[in-house]
Structure 1
Amino acid sequence: MSDLGYDVTGDGTRPEIQLGESSWVWQRYGMSIDGKQYARGVTVHGDSSVTIALNRQCTAYDALAGVDDMTLGLGKVSFSVYADGVRLWHSGTVRGNDPAVPVHVNLTGRRTVRLVVQPHGGLLDRAALADWAESRFTCR
């Protein structure tokens, strides 16, 4: 996901972030969850939704989901992956300093993916930085 373009500048031939249907997204190279470094991914706030139009046949979405170490161990969130409006994966509660949770979702026959992070408490959880590390789509 760190390499995905946005639909306003894309050509519709590969997965693209739908800007008008998405929260703030920080496409990153280098992030840390529970002290472990990851080469790439995206960071969002603890209350976010990012929609991706697949624009081709894709078979899977994989990532490692967790609270970014820049949050200093604070924050409790949950991660969900939806495809065509149906929730296909949910993490349960993930706290700051928890290890990253592996994500694998079958996308065969799907057209859109929505990555959702929800806070579990107050302002700190909403402000937490949540990572979809090593986030990638497998497409033809």
Structure 2
Amino acid sequence: PKPAQGFQLASLAHSPYGNHTGPEVQTWRSSWVWQRWGLEVGDRRFGHGITVNSRSSVEITLNRQCGAFSARAGVDGLSVLTDATVRFSVYADGQRLWQSGALGYRDPAVAVQVPLTGRTSLRLVVERAGGGSLPTLASWADAVISCR
């Protein structure tokens, strides 16, 4: 069998322009997505990831056999003045497979490891968990989908 290949969310194609051979962001079904390099969560720097609004949903079609999604989730360092907390969730084929507790600006990123075997789609959701009058940016840092 072919070895697993890691697809970084920071460099995924968007489906209208992709070749449909690997994971692709479904732009017409997703919130705003900022694909980034060098982001910060909880005073720790990460090499790559995506940043979204505090109320967001990012739909990804896998387009191949994938085994897992991994990331570090938390409030982005650019949200320095925020007082809100957010909650992260990961869905595959409409079923929630993982959810974080409420996370705020100073909290360290939490590890995300979700199995995707037999799944065809992935959805990353961020919701406000409490408080806050200012916008909050949330990041899925070092986010990778492992596929064959």
TM over 0.5: yes
The offset of 1:69, in angstroms, is: 1.1
Mark the runs of 5 or more structure 2 residues left unpaired by the alignment.
1-8
| 1:97–1:123 distance in 2 versus 1, CA, 3 Å | closer
Residue 115 of structure 2 corresponds to residue 79 of structure 1: no
What percent of counterpart residues are identical?
48
Per the alignment, residue 2 of structure 1 pairs with 10
Aligned to 1:95: 104
> Which stretches of structure 1, 4 residues or more, deviate above 3 A after TM superposition?
121-125
TM-score for both structures, normalised by structure 2: 0.91
Q: Report the Cα distance in structure 2 between the residues aligned to 1:113 and 1:65, rounded to whole angstroms.
A: 15
Aligned to 2:73: 65
Q: CA RMSD in A?
A: 1.2
Alignment match of 1:52 (pick from 54, 60, 67)? 60
Alignment-derived partner of residue 39 in structure 2: 31
CA distance in 2: counterparts of 1:124 and 1:24, whole angstroms: 20
When normalised by structure 1's length, the TM-score is 0.96
The 2-side partners of 1:5 and 1:123 are apart by 33
Q: Secondary structure at the match of 2:28?
A: helix
Q: Which amino acid in structure 1 is aligned with residue 61 of structure 2?
A: A
5 Å matches for 1:108-123?
A: 108-121=117-130
* Deviation (angstroms), 1:123: 5.7
Q: Does 1:21 align with 2:29?
A: yes
**Aligned-pair CA distance for 1:124:** 3.5
Structure 1 gap segments, 5+ residues each: none
Question: How many pairs were matched up?
Answer: 139
More off after superposition, 57-66 vs 115-124? 115-124
